[in-house]
């Protein structure tokens, strides 16, 4: 789930229709999306493989990407700052925590405050 603000206006809560937590190309991906094209929105974080529990800022080397995607425009949201605070279970099958994404598109600011709890079965 996420609380989204665009240009100072609160959007309806983001509740993912689909979530994915897994390893891909030596990185750990946490992903959720909502809706279908052309209005699909998605939130994703990718960490270096084997990254331990902790808080990682947008410019930390362990945090490969932290993104908010929306297909409602040809222009992408460009992440300017943010972080992920993640706790992994001892068997690495569950990840929970929070993310903050601060992005811009065409001089409009977006803030996404995300809470996640994903289990890889």
Of 9-18, 19-28, 39-48, 86-95, the least confident: 19-28
- The C-alpha atoms of residue 62 and residue 77 are separated, in whole angstroms, by 21
Please compute the mean of the pLDDT values over residues 11-28 and round it to a whole number.
90
For the whole model, what pTM was predicted? 0.93
In the Cβ-directed half-sphere of 56, how many Cα atoms lie within 13 Å?
Answer: 21
Residue-level pLDDT at 104? 97
Residue-level pLDDT at 49? 92
- Determine phi and psi for 73, rounding to 5 degrees: -155, 155
Check if the beta carbon of residue 77 is closer than 8 Å to that of residue 71.
Answer: no
Please name which of 15, 42, 17, 47 lies closest in space to residue 31, comparing C-alpha atoms: 42
Residue-level pLDDT at 26? 84
Q: Model confidence over 48-79: pLDDT tens digits?
A: 999 999 999 999 999 999 999 998 888 999 99
């Amino acid at each position: 789930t996420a609380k989204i603000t665009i240009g100072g206006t609160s959007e309806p809560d983001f509740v993912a229709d689909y979530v994915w937590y897994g390893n891909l190309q030596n990185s750990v991906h946490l992903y959720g999306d909502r809706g279908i094209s052309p209005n699909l929105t998605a939130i994703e974080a990718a960490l270096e493989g084997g990254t331990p529990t902790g808080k990682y800022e947008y410019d930390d080397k362990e945090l490969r990407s932290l993104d908010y995607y929306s297909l409602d425009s040809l222009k992408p949201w460009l992440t300017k700052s943010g972080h992920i605070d993640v706790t992994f279970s001892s068997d690495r099958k569950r990840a929970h925590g929070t993310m903050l994404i601060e992005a811009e598109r065409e001089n409009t600011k977006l803030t996404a405050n995300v809470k996640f709890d994903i289990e890889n079965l």
